[in-house]
Structure 1
Amino acid sequence: MFRRKSKKLRENNAELNITAFMNLMVVLVPFLLITAVFSQISILNLNLPAGVSEDIPSEEKPPKALEVVIRKDKFDVMERNSGLLKRIINTENGYDFQGLNTFLQTVKAHPEFNIDTSVTLLMEMDTSYDTLVQTMDAVRLIVREERELDEKGNLIQGELFPNISMGDAPPETDNSQTQLGTEGSL
């Protein structure tokens, strides 16, 4: 009835056949590596303001320093020593990043700022992260109407003020008038 297995069969170890699994791995691993999306992270260095400012001798003219103040309803483009250069009011769609970029291009063309690469962004406490990033892009790069491409098909962009410092916006005063005459003149 029941047959007993012989000792010979019990001692035979069965080997695993992993050839099919290895073939699958040889095909699957390169396929996954080729189709994987590698995330691109860009790093933007920021210059944080120093805790203690140095005293500048009074006989020297203080250096020009461009500031963009982000308020909830406008941008104020200022020169630290002279005052307000231009106030850019929000549009019905929100902040006017294109208007800010266009005005900063005219500022960059001015002889007092054409070699300057620094700008300070001063923002109110409730400024959203998205607004901050879009403002940094508007301040940093020239946005052109016509798209110019290089030989590889990449978009050519110029620099305005790539060295960005950040800080808190001063409280808004009602009598903040430009000290340079009419707004928008340098």
Structure 2
Amino acid sequence: MLRRKSKRTKEMNAELNITAFMNLMVVLVPFLLITAVFSQVSILNLNLPTGTSDALPAEEDPPKALEVVIRKDKFDVLERNSGLLKRIPNNEEGYDYKELNAFLQQVKAHPEFNTDTGVTLLMEMETEYDTLIQTMDAVRLIEREERELDEQGNVIQGELFPNISMGDAPPEDNQATNSPGANQ
């Protein structure tokens, strides 16, 4: 005789127990919110070239214009009309932002530039983004050895040349024949 197994279907009334998961979420969510690092986004207005080459009427005394050229191995600080003011070579760590900032503080103290707020950053095509940002910080703000604090404990920073324009650096070999910063 053959025995047949009885095919009874057992109905299981199963409930989903999510108590342990909810306990984990109650602890985990506040912990993640407390330890999260919120990034601060700041906006810096830049003056970009328009691309038009309309000739300006010739002036007797052209205005002073400060330019910082970012090369792969140095900074060149120029005055558009008179030429090179200072060449700052890279140090062991890379670009010498402190030397650039210190020299621009000396330039800002000069009577011809003490009311000027604009500077043009000219960079080569291979310039890294981080280099550009650090150069902009060195050009915009006064870096001091001693930190001065206000009433709320915030660091007081002075401004050097906050109005920054950007453009492409002229080829280095043409600097000797053409005026620095001239559009090629």
**TM-score of the pair, normalised by structure 2:** 0.76
What is the distance in 2 between the residues matched to 1:84 and 1:99?
A: 16
Bigger drift between 117-126 and 23-32 goes to 23-32
Corresponding letter in the other structure for 1:42: S
- Where does 1:57-76 land on structure 2 (aligned, <5 Å)? 57-76=57-76
Task: Indicate if the aligned counterparts of 1:56 and 1:62 stay in contact, CA closer than 8 A.
Answer: no
- Where does 1:97-108 land on structure 2 (aligned, <5 Å)? 97-108=97-108
- Where does 1:36-185 land on structure 2 (aligned, <5 Å)? 36-173=36-173, 176=176
- Give how far 1:52 is off: 1.4
Q: Kindly tell me: are residues 125 and 28 of structure 1, through their superposed partners in 2, closer, same or farther at Cα, counting changes over 3 Å? A: closer
- Give how far 1:55 is off: 2.9
What is the distance in 1 between the residues matched to 2:94 and 2:117?
A: 27
- Give how far 1:142 is off: 0.3
% identity of equivalent residues: 80
Q: Provide structure 2 residue ranges, at least 5 long, that are not aligned to the other structure.
A: 1-20, 180-184
- Give how far 1:157 is off: 0.6
- Backbone CA RMSD of aligned residues: 3.3
- Give how far 1:37 is off: 3.4
**Structure 1 match to 2:17:** none
Q: Secondary structure of 2:76's match?
A: strand
What is the distance in 1 between the residues matched to 2:111 and 2:117?
A: 13
Task: Indicate if the aligned counterparts of 1:65 and 1:81 stay in contact, CA closer than 8 A.
Answer: yes
Corresponding letter in the other structure for 2:101: N
- Give how far 1:53 is off: 3.8
- Give how far 1:58 is off: 2.4
Q: Provide structure 1 residue ranges, at least 5 long, that are not aligned to the other structure.
A: 1-20, 180-186
Bigger drift between 54-63 and 112-121 goes to 54-63
What is the distance in 2 between the residues matched to 1:44 and 1:58?
A: 32
- Give how far 1:62 is off: 1.4
Task: Indicate if the aligned counterparts of 1:84 and 1:176 stay in contact, CA closer than 8 A.
Answer: no
**TM-score of the pair, normalised by structure 1:** 0.75
What is the distance in 1 between the residues matched to 2:140 and 2:109?
A: 14
